[in-house]
């Protein structure tokens, strides 16, 4: 069973994503606070990360994905990261190191397809 880490400070969105992913057979780890992101990834060892671009406290997902890409452990530095936002920032996400970008609101099937594609490619 593959594990998806959700990093989103919107509790409603996070819960909906958790339910959707669990129904599709994924194990889900939620990381609402971005402050311990790298430590959580090291500890939880997800297979893919679903990361919101704009988080509480002025933290941007761009900086988190850059930190992950700079990680000394290769399997973590290459971990698939799917970034999401209500704004069209796909270019910025790709430049930061995201594996994929989804513009909110997105279709649940689209999310599942992108997760599968990134798991297959990792």
What gap in Å lies between CA 29 and CA 26, rounded to an integer? 10
Cβ of 109: how many Cβ atoms within 10 Å? 10
CATH of domain 3-46+57-121: 3.40.50.2300
Average pLDDT, consecutive stretches of 10 residues, N- to C-terminus, the chain (122 residues):
93 94 97 81 96 88 95 95 96 98 95 96 68
pLDDT at 34: 72
Q: Can the peptide bond before residue 84 be classed as cis, meaning omega within 30 degrees of 0?
A: no
pLDDT at 114: 97
Q: Where are the domains of the chain?
A: 3-46+57-121
| DSSP string computed for 32-66 | --GGGHHHHHHHH--SEEEEESB-GGG-BHHHHHH
pLDDT at 76: 93
Helix, strand, coil shares of the chain as percentages rounded to 5? 50, 20, 30
pTM: 0.94
């Amino acid at each position: 069973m593959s594990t998806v880490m959700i990093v989103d400070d919107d509790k409603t969105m996070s819960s909906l994503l958790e339910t959707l992913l669990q129904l599709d057979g994924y194990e889900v780890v939620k990381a609402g606070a971005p402050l311990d992101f790298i430590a959580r990834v090291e500890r939880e060892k997800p297979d893919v990360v679903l990361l919101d671009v704009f988080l509480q406290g002025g933290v941007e997902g761009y900086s988190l994905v850059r930190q992950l890409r700079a990680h000394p452990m290769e399997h973590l530095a290459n971990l698939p990261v799917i970034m999401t936002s209500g704004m069209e920032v796909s270019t910025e996400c790709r430049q930061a190191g995201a594996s994929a970008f989804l513009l909110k609101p997105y279709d649940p099937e689209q999310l599942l397809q992108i997760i599968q594609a990134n798991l297959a490619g990792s």
